[in-house]
Amino acid sequence: MKKFFLNILMKNPSCESFFRIFKFCVTSRILQKLHGEPRYGAIFIILTVYSIFFCYCVIKNFIEILSDKDIETLQIIFTILMFLGYGQLLLKNFAGAPFYREFQSLVDFIETLHSTKEDNIVVQEIVSEEIAKAMKYSLLFFKLYNNLGTFSVIAFIGTITWKDYTIISIPVLHSTEYRFIYHSIQNMTLVIAALWNGLSDTAIVIIGLYIVHFLKVINKMIKSLDNVDKVKQCPDLLIHILKKHLKIIKILRTFNESVKFMSFVQLFMSTILFLTMIATMQLYKTDVSIECIFATLITQLTFLCLFGEQIRSETVAVFNNLYLTNWYKMSLSHQKFLLIMMINARKEIGLKAAGMGSFSVFAHTLALNNSYSSYTP
């Protein structure tokens, strides 16, 4: 495991190393073993049991400190943040676990994109270019997102250690007598939470990136219909486009089905965290750790909303590009194929959160604005 984590942090890791870390990330979300992979799921099941016990200790501590008149307000806030953060992580994993088959099909789809060679050079060039970009941006996101999460957890650990806060209450062990054990468990659990959350969120983002770039493949192929030279090189280009368009419609439905409950949990829990964080920032305007946690939280939901926006815009672009082709120069049979694709592409598809509608940048901005307005004059 250590070897492929080191490989992924290199500038140009191999495709094999990339897929090993990607599958590990997916396993961390669905808590189950993927086909042909080691039994990493057992690791995360053990961590889940430990996390549930840890949440119990946090709740127990919260109940105890409420009766303490000398307790600092910031310690209460950190206890709430710990419970909300871990609670969100567990709920998202529980929401993803029932959709094992959907996630397996999405992983298979991405593997197929890398392993399958197209039977035409024009199509292969377009696919290779966009898939290479998807892998490049996936690696970039993995590094940036996990670095941000690491910085955030360091700030959090530094604050509670420096101020000597205990945010858990372990049965049998008293916090005053076993201070070192308490801090060790707290810090270790925070590191686990940061890594786990970073890995599991990265899995969703990577799948989203590949879907976006596959849509870009389709749009580039549609634009190539007006290029005489490329049409000569690939006479059945329209058939290739139709097949890929039908595939992406199926993949988008699978993706939405697999993440809709996770998206709902993310939206609901993030809103509560937003309210808590903004209220805290009003009280402690110079606390760096609070600002770091808030930045990480915004980044999580922003990427989710950006994917919803990007997927929607690319699906709309498919219809627009089909409409703008020189369809009147095509044969009657090709015009029929074009019409079939336009009918399939007439409805935009975005990222949805259960029954609450679509994720968008506007919705994210509105949620932030409403949360901020709740605590400002």
pLDDT at residue number 36: 67
Split at pLDDT 50, 70, 90, the class of 55 is: very high
Q: Which of 19-28, 175-184, 283-292 has the lowest mean pLDDT?
A: 283-292
Compute the average pLDDT of residues 119-133: 91
- DSSP states along 124-161: HHHHHHHHHHHHHHHHHHHHHHHHHHHHHHHHHHHHHH
Q: Which of 113-127, 175-189, 190-204, 258-272 has the lowest mean pLDDT?
A: 258-272
Tens of pLDDT, residue by residue over 283-307, are 777 667 677 777 777 776 676 677 7
Q: Which of 19-33, 35-49, 85-99, 239-253 has the lowest mean pLDDT?
A: 35-49
Q: Has residue 326 got a pLDDT over 80?
A: yes
The residues near 35 (Cβ < 8 Å, ≥ 6 apart) are 104, 108
Q: Has residue 6 got a pLDDT over 50?
A: no
Q: Has residue 356 got a pLDDT over 70?
A: no
Range with the largest mean pLDDT of 113-117, 279-283, 335-339: 113-117
Average pLDDT, the chain: 81
Compute the average pLDDT of residues 12-20: 77
How much is the pTM?
0.85
Compute the residue count for the chain.
377
Closest Cα to residue 23, out of 44, 47, 6, 40? 40
Split at pLDDT 50, 70, 90, the class of 60 is: very high
The phi and psi torsions of 358 (rounded to 5 degrees) equal -95, 150
Could you state, in order of their start, the residue ranges of all structural domains in the chain? 1-375
CB 4 within 8 A of CB 70: no
